[in-house]
Amino acid sequence: MRLSRAYPSRYGVPVLRAIDPSIFTRRYFTDCLSCGFCHDWCCQFGVDADRWHMERILTHADALEAFMEVPRRRWFTGEMAIEADAPGGRMGRTAVENGHCVFLSRTGRGCRLHAFCLEQGIDPLELKPLVDGLFPLTYEGDRLCPADEVLDGTLVCLETGPTLYRGVRESLHYYFGADLVAELDALEAGR
């Protein structure tokens, strides 16, 4: 479904021009820390990390290292690929240790990067990679769509809770602005 105009992210890229309408009908459990059934399943793979956010994370490296008790050299895989529609023009990946993303709490639940941001008074979307902030939505080229884990049915919290769109509406507002959200709200209402 084409949008009325192009919506660049706050970083200039990606630029959204279309959506998959299933974002208004597919559902997932959004309150991750209240989940009692997935055991942080979606954190087992790590996450794609755009260069812009990786650099932002590293500006807090000293404090984040002390908070996480994990040295910064272990945070990312070190492999980078050119990706024109990723903020910063390159994409890397968070490291996986002991079967989970290096940023996943080992003593409780949830993302330590997110917890660090909350403790420091930083909006978590300022540091968390774009792909992470949009999950379980993603972008493919200029299209906003469900992530692969939704499409292949492996996301264990599917079909409960609000729609994919409603679950990440505030993140979309942060990354792409009020005009995109207003258009998506109107498309959702017209369904």
Domain ranges of the chain: 2-184
Spell out the residues 6+ positions from residue 6 whose beta carbon is closer than 8 angstroms to its own.
15, 16, 17, 142
pLDDT reported for residue 44 = 83
pTM of structure: 0.94
107-to-40, 65, 117 alpha-carbon distances in Å:
12, 16, 18
pLDDT tens digit sequence for 138-187: 999 999 999 999 999 888 778 888 999 999 999 999 999 999 999 999 99
Residue 80: the pLDDT is: 97
Structure tokens at 183: 């258009």
Question: 19: which strand partners?
Answer: 144
What is residue 34's predicted lDDT score, i.e. its pLDDT? 61
pLDDT tens digits, one per residue of 1-51: 999 999 999 999 999 999 999 999 999 877 765 666 666 767 788 999 999
Give me the sign of the Cα torsion angle 85, 91, 94, 100. positive
CA-nearest of 144, 149, 104, 125 to 11 is 125
Per the structure block, which two tokens stand in for 163?
């729609």
